Structure 1
Amino acid sequence: MLPVDDPPSPPSPGRRRGRGRPSVIDSGAVAEAAFRLWREKGFADTSWADLAEATGVSARTLLRHFPTKADIAWIGVAHATDRLRDALEKTSAADSLADAIRAGVVSSVSHHPRVQRVNPAWLRLIADEPELVAMAPRAYRPWIDELAAFIGRRVPHAPPAICRALASTYQAAAFAALTEWADSGAIGDSADAVDAMLGWIDIRIPETPTRT
């Protein structure tokens, strides 16, 4: 749901692949530097050599981790999906479906200062850059699939199309909240903006299966 991932745990001593080649890179730092560069130079006009110079990571290593520049832009979705899954698993059956989803979605938003700092630039970029706009449905699919699967488990008689529609609605609402937060000056925690937005959503579950 957010552009960069939380800082990785430091690698254990000796975890290296090949001479002088680290097994991990700080992908969050790479994304932060990339967004700073894209803001100055433009997404399309930024080369891999430019990214290598800005990040301090060789172009070859960057390409090994990120097949396209767009993969850098959407790197945070996987970590947001992990946070969503963990939060949903902790919800109680006593919670209403709307409350459980709200808690999970809000928890999927990272509180890390790096993410909060970079997020406004990320939102502007993916709204304006055609390549990233086109990639959005595929990038968000794992997050939406995770939430749809949870809804299906909580409401077994709900058709899969309904579960996916609800999950997509929550993704769109969360993104709208983040966009408004960024456009308003990025004041406060972006997760609080998402929480306030989702407070407007409720779910009415039919007692009998719904036909689609």
Structure 2
Amino acid sequence: MTRPDRRRPGRPSVLNIRAVGADALRLWTERGFAATNWNDLAEATGISTRTLLRHFPSRAEIAWLGVAPATDRLREVLTRAADDAPVAVVVRTAIVESVSRDPQIHELAPAWLRLISAEPTLAATAPAVYQPWIDTLTGYLARRLPGAPTAICRALATAYQAATFAALTEWAESGAHGDAADSVDRMLRWLDVHTPGTVPDGPAREP
């Protein structure tokens, strides 16, 4: 996609969503989320306030842009997984694959993680934002574990989401060395032992 001309804010023919998110994140990193408004975002992105508001109901929508694509990647892997594959292995693989390996996103991820962890407004919206991700994983667990109560499947999915976020946060705070997806994989192996369908002796070993 072609990025709109930053020197002439207005109505671009094609809105580069990724560029908007990156520019907004840089602005929030410099000034703080609460200290900026839509006019500031328009100046930072080169897109008119009117156009931004047409695409994003709130500033938080911009901050959480990466979660929906991650949910789509999670769903795709779960959907194509073999029905006889170990549940825990499928879940871990799907979550790891849901973490973007895009170099640009990888570069911005530490700043994004710091932002959503430190900003109360964004932290408050996190449960609703992650709900589709949790629902997707809950549905898979319920299908593969027909005897498990729905509440258990949801609890497992919620635990996986919390562990994934913890792994990403630890990766960022330790200097963002290596691939974020690999850090998630190492963290989730500790959950294998507690998840039905784990292969023997597979839980917490280093890959």
TM-score, with length taken from structure 2: 0.87
Q: What is the CA-CA distance between 1:57 and the residue it aligns to? A: 1.0
Match of 2:161 among 160, 171, 178: 171
In 2, the alpha carbon distance for the partners of 1:193 and 1:149 equals 25
Where in structure 2 are the equivalents of 1:79-90 lying within 5 Å? Answer: 79-90=69-80
Matched, 1:146 2:146: no
Q: What is the CA-CA distance between 1:122 and the residue it aligns to? A: 0.9
Q: What is the CA-CA distance between 1:28 and the residue it aligns to? A: 1.0
Match of 1:135 among 120, 125, 129: 125
Where in structure 2 are the equivalents of 1:166-205 lying within 5 Å? Answer: 166-202=156-192, 203-204=195-196
Matched, 1:42 2:35: no
Matched, 1:103 2:88: no
Cα deviation, 1:70-89, whole Å, max 9, x if unaligned, reads: 11011111111100000111
Secondary structure of the 1:200 match is helix
Q: What is the CA-CA distance between 1:94 and the residue it aligns to? A: 2.7
**Where in structure 1 are there 5+ consecutive unaligned residues?**
1-9, 12-19, 206-212
Secondary structure of the 1:45 match is coil
For these two proteins, the number of residue pairs brought into alignment is 187
User: For the Cα contact (< 8 Å) 2:20–2:45, is it kept in 1?
Assistant: yes
Amino acid at match of 2:134: I
Matched, 1:76 2:73: no
Q: What is the CA-CA distance between 1:56 and the residue it aligns to? A: 1.0
Q: What is the CA-CA distance between 1:26 and the residue it aligns to? A: 1.1
Q: What is the CA-CA distance between 1:21 and the residue it aligns to? A: 4.9
Greater relative contact order (Cα 8 A, min sep 6): structure 1 or 2? 1
Query: What's 2:84 paired with?
Result: 94
Secondary structure of the 2:142 match is helix
Cα deviation, 1:74-110, whole Å, max 9, x if unaligned, reads: 1111111100000111222232111000011001101
In 2, the alpha carbon distance for the partners of 1:195 and 1:32 equals 26
In 2, the alpha carbon distance for the partners of 1:29 and 1:165 equals 35
Q: What is the CA-CA distance between 1:43 and the residue it aligns to? A: 0.5
Matched, 1:26 2:16: yes
Q: What is the CA-CA distance between 1:125 and the residue it aligns to? A: 0.8
Identity %: 57
**Where in structure 2 are there 5+ consecutive unaligned residues?**
3-10, 198-207
Query: What's 2:47 paired with?
Result: 57
Q: What is the CA-CA distance between 1:58 and the residue it aligns to? A: 0.9
TM-score, with length taken from structure 1: 0.85
User: For the Cα contact (< 8 Å) 2:88–2:196, is it kept in 1?
Assistant: no
Query: What's 1:160 paired with?
Result: 150
Query: What's 1:17 paired with?
Result: none
Amino acid at match of 1:79: P
In 1, the alpha carbon distance for the partners of 2:87 and 2:67 equals 23
